[in-house]
Amino acid sequence: MSATRRIALLAIIALLPASSVAQSGRTPAPARHGMVVTSHYLASEVGADVLKQGGNAVDAAVASAFALAVVYPVAGNIGGGGFLVYHGAEGEVTSFNFREKAPLAATETMYLGPDGEIVDNSNHEGPLAVGVPGTVAGLWLAHQRLGRLPWRDLVEPAVRLASDGFPSTWAMQGFLRGLTRNTDPLYGPTREAFLKDGQEVYEPGETWKQPDLARTLERIRDEGKDGFYRGETPELVADFMRRNGGMITEEDFARYEAIEQMPVHGTYRGYDVWSMSPPSSGGVAVVTMLNILEGFDLEEIGHNSALYLHLLTEAMRRAYADRAEHLGDPLFNPEMPVDRLLSKEHAAGLRSSIDWFQASPSDSSAFSSSYLPAESEETTHFSVVDAEGNAVSLTYTLEYGYGSGLVAAGTGFLLNNEMGDFNPVPGRTTRSGQIGTDANLVRPGKRMLSSMTPTIVARDGKPFLVIGSPGGRTIINTVLQVILNVIDHGMDVAQAVEAPRIHHQWLPDNTRVEAWGISPDTRRLYELMGHEVWTYSQQGHAHGILIDPGDGMRYGAADSRAFDARSVGY
């Protein structure tokens, strides 16, 4: 940047107020005892009822997750996977990794034809895109470790919702109408599960019953984890795979195990930050960015001012570059430098490379994994705090909205298409596909890299802020900005969730901004610094709970970007 241009920019910034007014959003929902915030009001009500019955945060999370599998099929699931972060009222911290796995028959080149190109988008569409589901195993493990109420009682509400039905909503109309136009026999079981008599759309308000899903959930209710991973369910899925060119077998189901592992930990301005460790990249990236930004007076710079957005972008650029180079499934990548990436010293080095008034280039030649394909934004997150102050932050997904769109006949649930999160073409660097670095290549039994970022911020050893979001690769930056909004800008949790957000992921080298969230003047200043701006309608659905350290009140915020979301407390 020329000296003249820099002086002009400094002069303009000097005339701006020290802080700007953020969107106020809705008033947070208060509760004295427990709070559940999910993407569907019925699931929030199920979770809150469990808390009222004496259940703890893990019990409510299990019940809410199964309820979402019924009422929120776009992302709530038993056919996918995810992560749960737990922080107890007395300081115990742990997490549960139930990310999907590649089938045992998977290979690094399973999606490639003789010409080395991906065949028919098969890593995202069709039976080969399906990973071995992990959700039921993860919820079972968390409940065995930390649950209080009987497992059966926690699954039963979902069984009733599936068997008795619930009102279809406007949010499902696009998917349902698309099914009526899809005549492919592969999706016949999906039509049977989601359409009236397999043919007609359930209009908003009509009762939608799911008898096959109810029977699947009954087996889980009665037999626990084995009700999903052994017996009828894996037999039905494996039969569907054999008939349609897929890979998943009964053995894949039988061998699946969720893992309890320590979350990553960082600190920010006196707060402890606990977030998911690999194969989620979210926790490492959030802590890295917070460490970088801790060196700037963000309150003085002003929320969403041009300079603020510039510094956030530069932190994002560096953390996502680290993510691309280093992170994957730790069981297959034992040398990942996680401790170094989380260190204040590493962040100080990254911070020193930031020019206050000029965007850095996103240099794809810095290392071999130069570009990352888009991740679907259809995931769901929910947050829970119980009467004792125990907290759960849980994010799970099917990958695309409604996952692969495939249902194995007789099961009633959608299968994921998470295999698309692996690097599909070993050794290739392009501007439109993912390079094949070893950290995230397909291997049998391997978990694919994820951006899910369930996070709990604590103060003095007790949960303070429970937060997470869907949004594919934008998840990490959404969680980051909600944390900054609360800690640096003093927003309540609803303001922090509703405030406009931005996203930069290193490559492609542009910043995505919610169209309504940046003024023309701020955009011009930001672009003068060398940033390219793309606008889009919205980023994520952040659902959070803040616990007031003074009086212990719980304040819930369900993001208004989510159609059916609600905070329910008591």
Residues with a catalytic annotation lie at 379
Quick check: 400 and 378 in contact, CB under 8 A? yes
User: How far is CA 323 from its chain centroid?
Assistant: 16
Give the integer Cα–Cα distance in Å for 399 and 170: 21
CA nearest neighbour of 474 among 542, 403, 392: 542
Give the integer Cα–Cα distance in Å for 50 and 485: 31
How many Cβ atoms are within 10 Å of 156's Cβ, its own excluded? 17
For 242, the enclosing helix (H) or strand (E) is helix 232-244
Q: In what order do the strands lie in the sheet with 81-87?
A: 259-261, 93-98, 81-87, 391-397, 379-385, 35-38, 566-569
Residue 452 is classified by DSSP as: -
CA nearest neighbour of 75 among 393, 396, 383: 396
Residue 303 is classified by DSSP as: T
φ and ψ at residue 560, rounded to 5 degrees: -70, -10
Q: Are strands 554-558 and 29-31 parallel, antiparallel or unpaired?
A: antiparallel
Quick check: 98 and 260 in contact, CB under 8 A? no
Classified as helix, coil or strand, 132 is strand
Give the integer Cα–Cα distance in Å for 37 and 317: 31
- Torsion sign over Cα 464, 470, 476, 479: negative
Give the integer Cα–Cα distance in Å for 556 and 373: 33
Identity of the residue numbered 354: I
Give first-to-last CA distance, the chain, whole Å.
55
Contacts 24+ apart (CB under 8 A), 183-190: 186/126, 186/244, 186/406, 187/405, 187/406, 187/407, 188/409, 189/240, 189/406, 189/407, 189/408, 189/409, 189/410, 189/411, 190/405, 190/406, 190/407, 190/414
